[in-house]
Amino acid sequence: MSGALVFGGSGFIGQNLLNISNQYSTVSLRDPNWKEQVDGSETWINLVGKAHDHKGEAREEDYYYANVQLVKEIFEAFVLSEAKLLIHISSLAAIEEFESDKALSETDDCSPVSWYGKSKRAAEEWLLSQELPNDKKLIILRPPMVHGPGDKGNLGLLYKFISKGIPYPLTAFDNKRSLISIQNFCYFIEQIITHNHKLETGIYHISDDEPMSTREIINVIKEVTGKNIMNLSIPKFLIKGIAKVGDVIPIPLNTKRLKKLTSNLLISNQYIKNTLTISNLPLTAKKGLETTIRSFWEKK
């Protein structure tokens, strides 16, 4: 047996993983007969899940179906299969969604608040409560925001905002957040598959080595696009006042969204790097961002 079978291969991360090697294949859970299509891959990678719903249309049961029930089905099929390694992609949201000034480790307490975060944590707890055959291993990864070419997430939204010449109004806040480029994400996956004998079943944090501030991200966008956009530093008290209004009246900014945009949220990747004896990742955080922003710029 060799190769890897990717569940959720049609998404942004899945498409990038499938490009790593011709030994990576995918299967869709939308096919009622997917269990009959499982090949002889030694590794299974689960990317199936429901992410944040920015339109507010999803229900709690939607999150628990995609992020818990489908995970159970994949795990149960994995136990019965010939595969030896299951890599389940969870999320930083399973441990913290808004703010952490310290770099969170795998042993820190979990405090998810959204349906997304709670369902991701519920899947982790269920998986770790199951008995595994002695010859099988489960690796749960918690990445922060993953970005790269083809990304349609929050980084793309910020790029559109800045590239149109609109000054970013929250530069009075100086925050740092952990991110991970898709190149470094795929590198971690390859290292885990190659050296999984060094890892015990459990949870591992992955991220770029350096956190990035929103100001630094904006500067990268300016450098890549060549746009000299003016920084707009609205006083913090005024921004916070507007956010409180947004808690009552449906405007784009409220206190929860402001906290996500302006707070520190850091995690540590040292545990998995030490275990796998990784000294440096392929890309620095800035280089990864430059690659992502350049892909947006070239596509326009």
| CATH number, domain containing residue 197 | 3.40.50.720
Element (H, E) at 267: strand 265-267
- Between CA 272 and CA 265 the distance in angstroms is 19
On whether residue 255 sits in a domain, the answer given is: no
Tell me what pLDDT residue 54 has: 54
Buried b (16+ CB within 10 A) or exposed e, 4-19: bbbbbbebbbbbbbbe
Tell me the whole-structure pTM to 2 decimals. Answer: 0.92
On whether residue 61 sits in a domain, the answer given is: yes
Per-residue model confidence as pLDDT tens for the chain (300 residues): 468 999 999 889 999 999 888 889 999 899 888 988 887 899 999 999 988 655 566 789 999 999 999 999 999 999 999 999 999 999 999 999 989 999 999 999 999 999 999 999 999 999 999 999 999 999 999 999 999 988 877 788 788 878 877 777 777 788 899 999 999 999 999 999 999 999 999 999 999 999 999 889 888 988 888 877 777 778 888 888 988 988 898 877 788 878 877 899 999 999 999 999 999 999 999 999 999 999 988 876
On whether residue 298 sits in a domain, the answer given is: no
Residue whose tokens read 């820190």: 108
Q: In what order do the strands lie in the sheet with 43-46?
A: 24-27, 4-7, 43-46, 85-89, 137-142, 202-205
On whether residue 84 sits in a domain, the answer given is: yes
Domain with 71 in it: 4-152+177-210+264-282
On whether residue 242 sits in a domain, the answer given is: no
On whether residue 256 sits in a domain, the answer given is: no
- Overall number of domains in the chain: 1
Tell me what pLDDT residue 276 has: 97
On whether residue 289 sits in a domain, the answer given is: no
On whether residue 167 sits in a domain, the answer given is: no
CB 105 within 8 A of CB 271: yes
SS3 46: strand
